[in-house]
Structure 1
Amino acid sequence: MISTYGVGSLIAVDHESFVVSGLDEADHSWRGDEAPVVHERRLARLLDVDFFRLPPASDDTSKDGLRVRRFPLMHSCPECNELQPHRDFSPPAGRSVCGTCEVDLVPSRFVVACEAGHLDEFPYWQWVHRSPDRDSARIGRCGGKLRMRTTGRTSSLRSIVISCTCGQVPEVSMEGSFRRNALKDLRLTCRGARPWLGVSATDPAGCGLPLRTLQRGSSSVWQPVLKSALSIPPWSSSRADPLAGHWEKLRKYEDRAHVAVYLDAVFDGEWPVSLDEVMTLLDAEREEDPQDDREAGFDHRYRALRNKEYERLRSGNDESEHSQDEQFVCETPLGDPGVLRPLGITGPMLVKKLREVRALKAFTRLVDAESTTDAKEMPLSQKPLRWLPAMEVQGEGVFLRLDENRLDAWEKAPAVAARVERMRAAHQRVLEQRADDPSLAVRSPATPRMVLLHTLAHVLINEWSLEAGYPSASLRERLYAADDMSGVLVYTATSDSAGSLGGLVAQGEPELLDRTVRSAMRRAEWCSSDPLCMEAETAGSSGTNLAACHACVMLPETSCEHNNVLLDRALLVGTPGEPSLGFFRASLGR
């Protein structure tokens, strides 16, 4: 519901296809015991909601939970080859079969979408008649019926043939339907269809953007816009939960007396939170979200959220100073962190308890939301809601930082800067190609510091998956790379049995961490694909990696924040020709 099959996505169930409905009816259909409320004030403030809800975990017999709608409506019968809306086959109730042939119907393999996020049926009638007239298609003005058959000569689109029994037009294959201007040449543009909100739901503002043909199962049909936050003090205990939805009003009051009057008006009897605690939380609210920052862009506020996490990970939060309901425990290790100094690592912290909330903010089609500043994000409901669906995961982790002095000297080296610039330029080209307007493409985050921390996180995850017994897919990275940040958090935020067993925290003790880093660097010196991997001029998607492949540093998609791009193990250990490129090369004694 959050990352794979969220609102607006297509789901294939057996031989049928559905689109996940919007959340307009969820307030009534999501039962409280099956879809509990989740609070994370920092993330709620960023996304302008009051709270989050977990997707319902209903059993098979429940009538509550997620709603879906049949989409696409166009189906074909493999027996009689008719191509028409599902209802026109007169299927028996509850079944998706041809009323005449009694064989399973096949949902249309093709749909169309636009970059504004709209989704519609492929215009088969217009395609075969070479006409932009939607009304004629709807009422069948030509007098014929559409048919779809496969010649079987090839596996290409040329073998899929559409015809009309009207006899006025020749049959046409689907070849060429995926060209960028294929439907534009027919003068067909988007009409703003939003089938996840209803069969006849269209965008009231219209659309008119060009349509693109997609396969129903393409990843471009639906891409989630996910935002996440770690729960950190003072929001990391459940004490603040009863005040959810009241913060905007509470922050208007400066003195204790007015706050007390408000609490008396809201709560009957004893307050769930003491006045001192409320004032402390209000101070944090104003500090984390000052009034003049509210006009700043979303990206600026999201970076500020990460900055607060970095500060708290550095300063720690001892378990002995808090109650058992504290959800963020971060302590200094018992061992001497000085053993890590030769490696250029400082400030290791053991994150014994952490909680992460990941929320589905919106979704996009065709365009990656992270590649452009003008991404067309589709909301999850027709009317604005004061909540969003989210998942809550708890785990543990290890946080470490790189020595700033050593890092500053290393990233200023001309050879390092030149190598990273190659990746940055390639990544920027990809972002500009994906953006509708290249001038609005986001700036690539690639810097020597970021690529180094990113690759370090990957080799640590690979090493800990071998030494600590965690599947690499259950470990995640969270990077803190900026001019004033140089940290990485590796954590086990998963909802399965590999979530919080204590094994990863033990790996953060300095002596063990020293061995782990040295072992990871020795492993990174050689890849089974070398010398091709290390000496490649480009690697990865469109040259956005250098010395990186699936045999050495790439991870499962769920573990990486950046989709396995901007990786280069040469920045860790150097190359045979330029060993000085490696940040850890000198400390390994080679």
Structure 2
Amino acid sequence: MSKNTELIPVRLSHLLRHCTVGAIVRGPEYLMTVKDIREWTDKKGVDAGRLITYVKRVCDVLEISQELREPPIAAELEKGLVDGVCIPAMRFPSWMRCTNPICGLLYYQPWRYQKQKPLRCEHCEKHSVLEQVPWILVHPDGHMNDVPWHYLAHAEAKKRDQLQCREDRKESYLHLIDEGLLHRKLRCDRCNATSNFDSSIRIPYGNYHRQPWIKEPPDVTLGLPGDKVEPAFVLEINDARVHSAITSNALVIPPESRIRKGAVVDRLYQRSQKLQQLERAKTPLARKGALKTLAAEFRCTIDEVEDAWKEIQNGYPHIYENYTPGLLLEDEYKALLDEIPDMSEDEDFVPRHLTSSWKAMFAELPAREERLRKIIDIVSRLISVDRLKEIQVLTSFQRLGGKLIPPDIIGQSKWLPAIELYGEGIFFTLEEKIIATWEKLPALQSRADKFHRRYVNTSLHINPGLQVSPRFMLLHTFAHLLIRQLETEAGYPAASLKERIYCTSGVTPMAGILVYVAVPDVVGSLGGLAELAEPRRFLLLLASVFDHAEWCSLDPVCSEHEGQGPSLLNRAACHACTLIPEPCCAYGNVLLDRVFIKGDATTGISALLNNI
């Protein structure tokens, strides 16, 4: 491994979020940007990630035509050796700056010629340490590059020699000097040109590379002042607008979740390179040799490998023969409600139905416990999901909320990065008869309509199929309150929990909530969440949720709010009562309002439990 190579350990799940293609990652010594998936290959140029199998339904419902592969995985050994394939990245920004406030000299990629560590300024008396500049150039079309420091330093040039000064990255002649609070000045040593540097500046992107690691410029030149093109922005590297990963996810449900794992046919099916070896073996002798090699590797007989090979040729895994693509949430909702015959605990989807025990508690409670009895009435189905598997796919990323950029930049890759997450959860549905009557109340519809109008007029596009309705507002707010209650009572960090909202009206209505935890470890979580679905514990949990919906530490301000949060898409919901960590919420922490649960006497909205 080269002395200039830097290894940065990254969690597998982070590779699809803030450490993925085009993102800026902070290493021990330098900031880096992750290269696109065209370079996620081994030494032979073969895609290095493991193929994820048995996900045809997932791909269909997510409208994905490419294969799904895990990001490559590598381990650092002794003496700088690496076992596996690392995801490539490059140091970025390319410019470093002297930390001496009087000097501020800019260097272009000084690590290429300086041997000392840390890198130091060669021009000022203090020989101060160099640090990467915290600003980059970003365009809404997804482009990213270094700030054009020479261009900015001469932006206000008027003298002839200043106008004729040409950029030379082999020399260090530009200074970026702090002159007070948020006031910086650029100065050129060669021609004495000066200009003010404002990080909020907008400039033409120019003929720079589309991404730092790509040597071609954008398809359309954006460089001439006066051109009617969207300008680029100078942003700080920690600005959330620099990079936003776009992911899609789906649960693995029957029949894919019921595949028998570990059998010879399964192991052979998952090894695409081994299958290709058998296909390339045209003669009986060559095929016998390939079968013998595989039998030794799988520790089984040659006949078992040959039988597995024949089964694959005959259409294994056979689960798609009568398969009809459906809708994502509708399919999951049905799978959660249906009881699975002959279910094994090692399957990837193990729902345990507890509805009978839940309903039986009604008769056990005394009449004076009217509130608890109403809670039992409003929950129609209760299911402990003892094991689940979620597929998360990186479909694109964007900068400045602009154009969606595929993980290979050009949109021609045959695969997308994805990970398999394992965990458990609690699923329950609300009584349809109660919800259908409740959501027709005029005051509720009027309140939901205000949210709907704000949502359609905003630039936020959280979910293309989202219908903002009283039903959705209720379910989404309830899911948030439940996650916060699980954090308080069960010790689960809110950041580890996720929500999945099943909501439709009409012919086949849905009113369900799945709160779950999912991690990359195949073992999954420790079972604590599924245990909380036991009826008696879940009843107390829901009672606390309804209690906390009634009151916020910022009331009456929070409850009386006409609009708060992004685009005013929250009302009686704030960080003190309802909001959860961003990764947990599938809807960007908006469209939340406790009034849909607790009611509001001033607007004629009765509490949900009062409608039972």
TM range, normalised to the smaller chain?
0.7 to 0.9
1 CA distance for matches of 2:569 and 2:430? 24
Aligned residue among 137, 140, 163 for 2:187: 163
Q: Deviations over 1:11-32 (max 9, x none)?
A: 2224522111122232216999
Counterpart of 2:207, as a letter, is R
The one-letter code of the counterpart of 1:310 is Y
Aligned 8 A contact 1:428 1:443 in 2: no
Work out whether 1:53 is the aligned partner of 2:70. Answer: yes
Tell me by how many angstroms 1:234 deviates.
0.9
Between 1:378-387 and 1:2-11, the stretch displaced more is 378-387
Corresponding residue to 2:561 among 533, 536, 541: 536
What displacement does 1:117 show? 0.6
Instruction: Look up the match of 1:271.
Output: 308
Which has the larger helix fraction?
A: 1
CA change 1:517–1:234 in 2 (3 A) is same
2:303 counterpart of 1:288: no
Distance verdict in 2 for CA 1:88–1:4, change over 3 Å: closer
What is the match of residue 218 of structure 1?
Answer: 239
Corresponding position of 2:24 = 10
1:254 aligned partner: none
Cα deviation, residue 563, structure 1: 1.9
Q: C-alpha deviations, 1:146-168, integer Å up to 9, x for none? A: 211112x21x2xx2111112346
Residue 191 of structure 1 pairs with residue 207 of structure 2: yes
Change (3 A) 1:335 1:471: farther
Which residue is equivalent to 1:85?
Answer: 108
- Partners of 2:524 and 2:318 lie apart in 1 by 35
1:446 paired residue among 465, 468, 474: 468
Shift of the 576–74 alpha-carbon distance from structure 1 to 2, 3 Å rule, reads same
Map 1:51-450 to 2 at 5 A.
51-59=68-76, 61-63=80-82, 64-79=85-100, 80-87=103-110, 90-92=113-115, 96-100=119-123, 102-130=127-155, 139-140=167-168, 145-151=173-179, 153-154=180-181, 156=182, 159-167=183-191, 169=193, 171-175=194-198, 177-179=199-201, 182-183=202-203, 188-191=204-207, 193-198=209-214, 200-204=215-219, 209-239=230-260, 269-271=306-308, 273=311, 278-284=317-323, 287-288=324-325, 304-317=327-340, 321-323=342-344, 325-333=346-354, 335-338=356-359, 339=362, 343-367=377-401, 375-380=403-408, 384-431=412-459, 445-450=467-472
Matched residue, 1:461? 483
Give the direction of change, closer, same or farther, for the CA distance of 1:360–1:351 in structure 2 (3 Å limit).
Answer: same
1:192 deviates by 6.1
Match of 1:297 in 2: none
Residues 19 and 195, structure 1, Cα contact 8 Å, conserved in 2: no
Q: CA 1:121–1:280 in 2, change beyond 3 Å: closer, same or farther?
A: closer
The question of whether the paired residues in 2 share the 8 Å contact of 1:238 and 1:325 is answered with no
Deviation at 1:570, TM superposition (A): 0.9
Pair 581,110 (structure 1): closer, same or farther in 2 beyond 3 Å: farther
Cα deviations across residues 309-330 of structure 1 (Å, max 9, x unaligned)? 1111121335xx1445411011
- Structure 2: stretches of 5+ with no match in the other structure: 1-14, 158-162, 223-228, 261-265, 273-303, 363-373
Pair 354,505 (structure 1): closer, same or farther in 2 beyond 3 Å? same
The answer to whether the Cα contact below 8 Å between 1:329 and 1:351 also exists between their aligned partners in 2 is yes
| Cα deviations by residue, 1:190-244 (Å, 9 ceiling, x for unpaired) | 536233543x243456666421221111111110011111111111144578657
- Indicate if the aligned counterparts of 1:90 and 1:99 stay in contact, CA closer than 8 A: no
- Going from structure 1 to structure 2, the CA distance change for 1:233 and 1:510 (only over 3 Å counts) comes to same
TM superposition shift of 1:393: 1.6
How far apart, in 2, do the equivalents of 1:585 and 1:91 lie? 73
Distance 1:215 1:341, change over 3 A: closer
Tell me the secondary structure at the aligned position of residue 608 of structure 2: coil
Give TM-score scaled by structure 1 length. 0.79
The alpha carbon displacement at 1:500 in A equals 2.4
Distance 1:388 1:497, change over 3 A: closer
After superposing the two structures, state which structure 1 stretch, 15-24 or 488-497, moved more.
488-497
Q: CA-atom RMSD, angstroms?
A: 3.5
Q: Distance in 2 between matches of 1:424 and 1:566?
A: 9
Tell me how far 1:398 sits from its aligned partner: 1.2
- The letter of the residue matching 2:186 is I
Most deviating of 121-130 and 81-90: 81-90
Aligned residue runs from structure 1 range 498-577, under 5 A = 499-577=524-602
**8 Å CA contact 1:462, 1:553 repeated in 2:** yes
**8 Å contact 2:68–2:418 — kept in the other structure?**
no
CA distance in 2, matches of 1:359, 1:145: 45
| Whole-angstrom CA distance in 1 between matches of 2:259 and 2:456 | 42
TM score, norm. by length of structure 2: 0.76
CA contact 1:427–1:543 (8 Å) conserved in 2: no
Larger radius of gyration: 2
Give the match for residue 502 of structure 2.
Answer: 480
Secondary structure of the equivalent of 1:283? coil
Q: Which runs of 5+ in 1 are unaligned?
A: 247-266, 290-303, 369-374, 436-440
Aligned to 2:4: none
Q: Deviations over 1:164-196 (max 9, x none)?
A: 123463x22223x415xx31xxxx245362335
Letter in 1 for 2:584: S
Q: CA deviation at 1:359?
A: 1.6
- Of 556-565 and 386-395, more deviation after overlay is shown by 386-395
Cα deviation code 1:442-493 (max 9, x no counterpart): 6764221111111111111122223333222222111112233221101121
C-alpha distance in 1, partners of 2:340/2:90?
47
